[in-house]
Structures are given as C-alpha cells and as structure tokens.
C-alpha cells in the first residue's frame, strides 16, 4: 500500500472517530433534562486525548484558509516586509478575491481598507498599487453584494474613477477593469455617483489612451454595453464626445497605416460605433462626424495592406449594417 493511500485511510479513521465521539457526547439520557454522556471520567480523558490526536491529523486535511488570509494581511501591514513579499501576498489575495466565499468577507478580513489605501497611495510601488486594484476588481466581478460593500465601505467607485487618470498606465489599465466589473450588470445603481465623479469623461479619455491596452479595455467594455445593462454609459459617453474620438482614430489609422493603432482594437472601435447606432443621439453623432465615410476609408486601407481577410470582412459587414441604419 502506498504512503498516500495509508495517509488517506488514517485521515478517514480520524474523521470516523470524531463523528462517533460527537454522537456519543450528544446522547440524551431520558431520566435527565439535559444531554449527558455515560462515559466515566477516565474514559472521557482517554477520548479527549484521542480527539486531540485525530484533530491534528484532520487539520492537515482541512486547511484553515482564513488563517492563511490573516497571514497575508499581516505581511501587507508589516513594516519589515519587503516590496517583493507584499507583491507575492497581493498576488495570492487577488486569487482569493476571485472566489465569492472570500470576496464577500473582504471587509471582515480587513483586506478592503488595505487594498484601497495601497491603490490610492501614489508613493507605493506601482506593482503594489496595480495588484491592489486588480484584487478589488476581481472582488466586485458580478457580485452585487460585494459591489455594495466595496462602494459603501471602501469608496471603491471613487477610487476606480480617480485612478482612470493616473500617471501610470498600469494603474489606468486596472482602473478600467475595476470600473467595468463594477458597472456591468448593475443597471443604474451607480449611474449618479459615476457621472458625478467624472467617470464617463475619464472613460472617454481612456478610450484615446496612448497605451493601447488601456484603450482596448475601454473599447471592449463599451462594445458589450448593450448586453451588460450599461447602455447609459454609452449614451453619456456620446455626450462627452466619444464618437468624435473614435472616428478621429479611424481617420488616423486609415491615413497612417494599421501600425498607428492596434488593428484588433480597431475592430473594437467599429463595434462601439455599431452599438452607438442603437440610440438616436448616437446616430446623430455618427452622421455629424461622417463616420461612414471614415470607416469605408479604413476598409480600403486594410484591404490595400492585405490584412487578415476575415477581420476586413467583419469590419466591412459592420460598416454596411451601419449604412443601412443611418439611412433611416
């Protein structure tokens, strides 16, 4: 028999003993008004010692994850912990925050305050700030209750919006991730707060970010806005000049070649313009900015440079659909 098999059997025996012991302790003596145990004092001492041994075996099987989270928290607040130690701890914290069983207790484990403080502190190492934002974004992903906790107890929405205009592109990148995670499928719950803190205007600015990774995340978020209860973000973004920004990017790409802007992100830009055409103010902006003419120039450039034909066909099909919509 292998060592692993023997260890597994030992753990099962230990669990069985604890279950039998628990049953024995809760037997009810019908002559008494409370639960009692028929074991003698010496038998009780013997059983307690057996329980202690069995629990030591089971502790190796059933790990106390919250004890581990507390160890991570202690590392994060320790003045003697190195930057690398904290980066490692935050990487693990982010993984925990992907699991609702832990993210729901982000405030009770006192991680919320730490993550918010780290992310907001411009004197911190960029990696620490980035990972803190990432952990917060992971925590609020499609979890209404966690979203409420992070917004109400950690001022998370205000933090995400503030970081959209951070000097470091890594921070802007994770801030967009946080905004999209918070707003997706939340209806109009955070509309007033987001607009009041200037979130829409900053998102539009990020759509024109010099770092294409930042711009790409904004574009993807806006391209799926109609199916994630975020149409209001698109409508407000149009009022903030989104269509003009995107059409100008298309013009630049068409004039200077596809290397000027990511071709993959260019498809996302076209998809955002398609989504914008779903409401009246968006259609008016598309006409005002001569979007169709600029998009056709883009298609011609992509064909001339012999880019992936499937991508060219996809963009061309979207442009044709826009032409049909804007005729009416």
User: Band of the pLDDT at 38, cuts 50, 70, 90?
Assistant: low
**Number of compact structural domains in the chain:** 1
Domain containing 131 equals 63-198
Q: Tell whether 173 is covered by a domain.
A: yes
Q: Tell whether 154 is covered by a domain.
A: yes
With 60 as the cut, is the pLDDT of residue 22 above it? no
With 80 as the cut, is the pLDDT of residue 44 above it? no
Q: Tell whether 143 is covered by a domain.
A: yes
- Summarize the confidence of residues 78-95 as an average pLDDT: 97
Give the list of residues 6+ apart from residue 103 with CB closer than 8 angstroms, or none: 96, 97, 138, 139, 140, 143, 146
- Summarize the confidence of residues 301-320 as an average pLDDT: 83
Q: Which of 1-5, 163-167, 266-270, 299-303 has the highest mean pLDDT?
A: 163-167
Domain at 180, CATH number = 1.25.10.10
**Residue range 234-256, pLDDT digits in tens:** 999 999 999 999 999 888 877 76
Q: Tell whether 155 is covered by a domain.
A: yes
How far apart (Å, rounded) are the C-alpha atoms in residues 239 and 280? Answer: 12
Q: Tell whether 81 is covered by a domain.
A: yes
User: What pLDDT was estimated at residue 9?
Assistant: 63
Q: Tell whether 30 is covered by a domain.
A: no
Q: Tell whether 213 is covered by a domain.
A: no
**Residue range 156-192, pLDDT digits in tens:** 999 999 999 999 999 999 999 999 999 999 999 999 9
Q: How far is CA 165 from CA 156, 170, 192, 203, 319, in A?
A: 15, 11, 19, 9, 32
28 phi, psi to nearest 5 deg: -100, 125
Q: Tell whether 208 is covered by a domain.
A: no
């Amino acid at each position: 028999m292998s060592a692993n098999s023997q260890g597994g059997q030992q753990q099962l025996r230990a669990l069985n003993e604890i279950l039998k012991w628990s049953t024995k302790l809760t037997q009810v003596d019908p002559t008494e008004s409370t639960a009692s145990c028929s074991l003698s004092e010496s038998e009780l001492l013997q059983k307690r010692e057996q329980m202690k041994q069995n629990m030591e075996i089971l502790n190796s099987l059933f790990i106390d994850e919250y004890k581990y989270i507390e160890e991570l928290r202690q590392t994060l607040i320790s003045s003697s912990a190195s930057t690398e130690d904290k980066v490692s701890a935050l990487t693990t914290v982010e993984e925990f925050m992907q699991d609702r069983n832990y993210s729901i207790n982000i405030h009770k484990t006192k991680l919320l305050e730490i993550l918010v403080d780290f992310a907001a502190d411009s004197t911190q190492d960029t990696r620490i700030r980035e990972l803190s934002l990432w952990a917060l974004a992971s925590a609020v992903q499609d979890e209404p209750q966690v979203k409420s906790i992070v917004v109400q107890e950690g001022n998370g929405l205000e933090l995400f919006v503030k970081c959209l205009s951070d000097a470091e592109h890594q921070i802007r990148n994770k801030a967009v991730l946080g905004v999209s995670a918070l707003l997706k499928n939340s209806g109009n719950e955070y509309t007033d707060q987001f607009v009041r803190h200037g979130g829409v205007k900053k998102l539009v600015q990020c759509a024109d970010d010099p770092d294409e990774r930042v711009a790409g995340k904004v574009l993807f978020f806006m391209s799926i806005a109609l199916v994630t209860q975020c149409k209001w973000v698109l409508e407000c973004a149009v009022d903030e000049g989104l269509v003009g920004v995107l059409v100008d990017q298309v013009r630049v790409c068409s004039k200077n070649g596809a290397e000027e802007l990511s071709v993959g992100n260019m498809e996302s830009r076209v998809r955002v313009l398609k989504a914008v055409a779903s409401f009246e103010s968006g259609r008016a902006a598309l006409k005002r900015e001569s979007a169709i003419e600029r998009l056709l120039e883009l298609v011609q450039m992509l064909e001339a440079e012999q880019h992936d034909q499937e991508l060219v066909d996809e963009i061309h099909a979207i442009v044709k659909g826009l032409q049909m919509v804007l005729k009416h």
